[in-house]
C-alpha cells in the first residue's frame, strides 16, 4: 500500500501558511508518535506541549530515531537534510488540519466509536469483522484523543475503504473536534457512565459529550446506539440521521435475545433485526461485552452487510480484549484486567468472576475521576463484590467504603490495605489450583506491577 508522503505533509501545511523545511519529498510517512521514545522509522513526530513536558525539547531525539517528519513549534537544532520539518504556531491545530486533509485525500468511510467503557474492544472487534468485506484501517492502540486521533490517521492509506476510529474525551467539545477531523458517516455510542466527572462536572455534561458523535453525523449517516442506556435512548429520536438502535428491549431495531455466558470461553447470544435472525458466538470472555458485539454488528449493517453476514463476521473475529488470563505457580488463573477501571467495567469483571469455579478472589484498586460520586460508586461496587467473590483485597483510600459495603453484604474474607503490594500478598496467599483471581484498578495505581506477585504464588 502507498501512503502519506513528506510531500503531501509539506503541501498541506504550507498551504496553511506554515514554514516547512522539506527534505526528500517522496519519503513515506507510515505512522505517528508523540513520544520520542516510541518513534519508529517512517513516523511523523508531533511535538505537543504537555503539562509536564514539552515535545519540542525532543524533536532532535525523534529525528535521530528515524522519524521521517516532524510537526513542531520550534525548529530543531542541527542539520536534517533528508527530513521534512514543519514549524507551526500550534502543533495540535496543525496536525488536526493535516489529518483531515489526509483523510479526505484517501476517501475512506469513517466509523467512529465512543462510550465510557469498551471503546477499544469494540473498535478492534468492529474492524476485524469489517475486514471480511472491506480493506479496513483502525486506529492503533488507544490513539483516541485530540492529540492521538490525528496520529492514528497517519497510518491510513488510499487503498483503505473503511477506517474505524476510537474517540475519547476528557474535556468539553473534544469529541466534536475529533468528528471535525475524521468526518465519520457512521457513529456508535456504547454507553454513558461515570468517569471524567472531575473535569466535566456532571453526568449530563458527559452525555452531551458522548452523544456529540451521533449529533455530528451527516443526514445520510447512521448512528448505532445502545438503547439499553437510558441517556442514549432519550436522545435517539432527536437525530436527523438514520438510527440503528441495539439492546434487549422491544424498541431496539437490532435486538439481543437469549444469552449464554460461557465464562472464559466467551458468550453466545441470539440477535434479530428487521425480521432476520442469527446467532453469535463472541470469543471474548464476559457477557458485559455483548454490547460491543452488537455495536460491531450495527456498524456492519450500516455499511450494507446482512444480519447473517455481520453475525458470522463477529463470531469469526479473533481479537484481544483488555482482559488477559495468566496462570500462577499455584495453578490458579489470574484475570489481568488492570488496564483501567470504571464502575461499569468493574461490575462487568465481577460478574465474569462470579460465574467461574474454585475460590474467587478479587484484588481491587480505586476507580479514578468520579468526582463527588466517588464514595457512592465505590460503595456500590462493594455491594456487588459481596455476591461475586469469596475473598476481597482492596488498596487505596477510596476503596475503604468498598470494603465496608462488602463486609456489610456478608463477605467475611475481606481486607483493606494501604498499599497494593500488601493487598496482592494477601490475595496470593489464598490462591490454590482451580481458583480464579481478578485484578482491576484505575491506570494511575499501576496494578499491573502486582501481577508477578500473584503469578509467583505457589
Tell me, what CATH number does 352's domain have?
A: 3.90.190.20
Residue 152, in any domain of the structure:
yes
Residue 444, in any domain of the structure:
yes
State whether 123 and 139 are in the same domain: yes
Residue 100, in any domain of the structure:
no
Sign of CA pseudo-dihedral 128, 313, 165, 211: negative
CA distances in angstroms from 229 to 100, 234, 236, 258, 348, listed in the order given: 31, 9, 11, 19, 15
Dist. CA 256–CA 191, nearest whole Å: 16
- The reply to whether the predicted model has a pTM over 0.85 is yes
State whether 412 and 446 are in the same domain: yes
State whether 189 and 272 are in the same domain: yes
Given a contact cutoff of 8 angstroms between Cβ atoms, the answer to whether 283 and 305 are in contact is no
Residue 112, in any domain of the structure:
yes
State whether 52 and 114 are in the same domain: no
Question: Please, what's the b/e burial string for 42-73 (b: 16 or more CB within 10 A of its CB; e: otherwise)?
Answer: bbbbbbbeeeeeebbebbeebbebebbbbbbb
Dist. CA 327–CA 102, nearest whole Å: 45
Residues contacting 148, CB < 8 A, separation 6+? 34, 139, 142
Predicted local distance difference test score (pLDDT) of residue 196: 53
Given a contact cutoff of 8 angstroms between Cβ atoms, the answer to whether 177 and 201 are in contact is no
Residue 97, in any domain of the structure:
no
| pLDDT tens-place string over residues 62-75 | 999 999 999 999 99
Euclidean distance between the first and the last CA atom of the chain, given in angstroms as a whole number: 50
Dist. CA 232–CA 223, nearest whole Å: 11
Nearest residue to 291 (alpha-carbon basis) of 245, 231, 236: 245
Residues contacting 347, CB < 8 A, separation 6+? 288, 381, 384
Residues spanned by the domain of 34:
6-90
Residue 165, in any domain of the structure:
yes
Predicted local distance difference test score (pLDDT) of residue 334: 95
State whether 212 and 273 are in the same domain: yes
CA distances in angstroms from 149 to 100, 154, 192, listed in the order given: 10, 9, 21
State whether 155 and 296 are in the same domain: yes
Dist. CA 83–CA 295, nearest whole Å: 41
Domain boundary among 90, 119, 135: 90
Residue 101, in any domain of the structure:
no
* Domain CATH code at residue 201: 3.40.1190.10
DSSP symbol at 158: T
Dist. CA 60–CA 334, nearest whole Å: 42
Given a contact cutoff of 8 angstroms between Cβ atoms, the answer to whether 296 and 131 are in contact is no
State whether 309 and 347 are in the same domain: no
Nearest residue to 88 (alpha-carbon basis) of 153, 150, 26: 150
Which contiguous run of DSSP H or E holds residue 350? helix 343-354
Residue 99, in any domain of the structure:
no
Given a contact cutoff of 8 angstroms between Cβ atoms, the answer to whether 40 and 155 are in contact is no
DSSP symbol at 434: T
State whether 151 and 268 are in the same domain: yes
Residue spans of alpha helices (H) in 131-251: 148-152, 174-182, 197-200, 203-215, 230-236
C-alpha cell at 265: 470461553
State whether 444 and 333 are in the same domain: yes
CA distances in angstroms from 429 to 177, 357, 419, 423, 447, listed in the order given: 49, 18, 16, 10, 17
| pLDDT tens-place string over residues 291-342 | 999 999 999 999 999 999 999 999 999 888 778 999 999 999 999 999 888 8
State whether 26 and 57 are in the same domain: yes
State whether 390 and 292 are in the same domain: no
Nearest residue to 41 (alpha-carbon basis) of 24, 58, 20, 62: 62
Q: Are strands 186-189 and 109-114 parallel, antiparallel or unpaired?
A: parallel
Predicted local distance difference test score (pLDDT) of residue 346: 94
Domain boundary among 271, 298, 316: 316
Predicted local distance difference test score (pLDDT) of residue 1: 47
Domain boundary among 264, 291, 316: 316
State whether 292 and 162 are in the same domain: yes
Predicted local distance difference test score (pLDDT) of residue 372: 83
Within the chain, which residues score under 70 in pLDDT? Answer: 1, 23-25, 194-201, 458
CA distances in angstroms from 227 to 116, 193, 208, 234, listed in the order given: 15, 14, 16, 8
> If DSSP states are collapsed to H, E and C, what string results for 264-294?
HHCEEEEEEECCEEEEEEECCCCHHHHHHHH
The number of distinct structural domains making up the chain is 3
C-alpha cell at 175: 469529541
Amino acid at each position: 500500500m502507498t501512503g502519506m508522503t513528506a510531500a503531501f505533509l509539506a503541501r498541506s501545511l504550507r498551504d496553511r501558511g506554515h514554514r516547512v523545511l522539506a527534505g526528500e519529498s517522496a519519503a513515506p510517512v507510515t505512522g505517528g508518535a508523540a513520544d520520542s521514545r516510541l518513534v519508529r522509522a517512517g513516523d511523523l513526530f508531533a511535538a505537543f506541549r504537555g503539562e509536564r513536558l514539552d515535545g519540542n525539547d525532543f524533536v532532535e531525539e525523534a529525528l535521530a530515531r528515524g522519524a521521517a517528519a516532524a510537526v513542531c513549534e520550534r525548529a530543531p537544532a542541527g542539520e536534517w537534510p533528508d527530513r521534512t520539518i514543519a514549524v507551526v504556531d500550534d502543533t495540535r491545530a496543525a496536525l488536526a488540519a493535516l489529518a483531515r486533509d489526509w483523510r479526505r485525500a484517501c476517501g475512506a468511510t469513517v466509523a467512529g466509536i465512543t462510550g465510557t467503557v469498551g471503546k477499544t474492544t469494540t473498535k478492534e472487534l468492529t474492524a476485524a469483522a469489517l475486514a471480511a468485506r472491506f480493506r479496513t484501517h483502525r486506529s492503533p492502540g488507544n490513539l483516541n484523543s485530540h492529540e492521538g486521533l490525528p496520529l492514528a490517521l497517519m497510518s491510513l492509506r488510499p487503498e483503505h475503504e473503511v477506517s474505524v476510529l476510537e474517540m475519547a474525551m476528557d474535556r468539553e467539545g473534544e469529541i466534536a473536534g475529533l468528528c471535525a477531523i475524521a468526518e465519520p458517516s457512521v457513529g456508535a455510542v456504547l454507553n454513558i457512565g461515570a468517569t471524567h466527572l472531575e473535569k466535566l462536572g456532571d453526568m449530563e455534561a458527559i452525555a452531551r459529550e458522548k452523544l456529540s458523535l451521533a449529533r455530528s453525523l451527516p443526514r445520510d449517516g447512521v448512528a448505532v446506539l445502545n438503547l439499553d442506556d437510558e441517556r442514549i435512548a432519550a436522545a435517539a429520536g432527536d437525530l436527523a440521521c438514520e438510527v440503528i438502535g441495539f439492546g434487549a428491549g422491544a424498541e431496539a431495531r437490532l435486538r439481543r435475545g437469549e444469552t449464554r455466558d460461557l465464562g472464559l470461553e466467551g458468550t453466545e447470544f441470539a440477535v434479530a433485526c428487521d425480521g432476520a435472525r442469527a446467532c453469535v458466538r463472541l470469543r471474548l470472555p464476559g457477557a458485559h461485552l455483548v454490547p460491543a458485539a452488537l455495536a460491531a454488528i450495527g456498524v456492519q449493517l450500516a455499511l450494507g452487510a446482512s444480519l447473517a453476514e455481520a453475525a458470522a463476521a463477529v463470531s469469526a473475529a479473533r481479537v484481544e480484549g483488555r482482559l488477559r488470563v495468566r496462570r500462577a505457580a499455584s495453578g490458579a488463573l489470574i484475570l489481568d484486567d488492570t488496564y483501567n477501571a470504571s464502575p461499569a467495567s468493574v461490575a462487568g469483571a465481577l460478574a465474569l468472576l462470579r460465574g467461574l469455579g474454585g475460590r474467587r478472589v478479587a484484588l481491587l484498586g480505586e476507580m479514578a475521576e468520579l468526582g463527588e460520586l466517588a464514595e457512592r460508586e465505590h460503595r456500590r461496587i462493594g455491594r456487588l463484590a459481596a455476591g461475586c467473590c469469596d475473598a476481597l483485597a482492596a488498596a487505596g483510600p477510596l476503596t475503604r467504603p468498598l470494603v465496608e459495603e462488602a463486609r456489610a453484604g456478608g463477605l467475611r474474607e475481606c481486607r483493606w490495605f494501604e498499599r497494593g503490594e500488601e493487598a496482592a500478598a494477601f490475595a496470593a496467599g489464598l490462591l490454590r489450583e482451580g481458583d480464579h483471581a481478578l485484578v482491576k484498578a484505575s491506570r494511575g495505581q499501576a496494578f499491573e506491577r502486582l501481577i508477578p506477585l500473584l503469578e509467583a504464588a505457589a
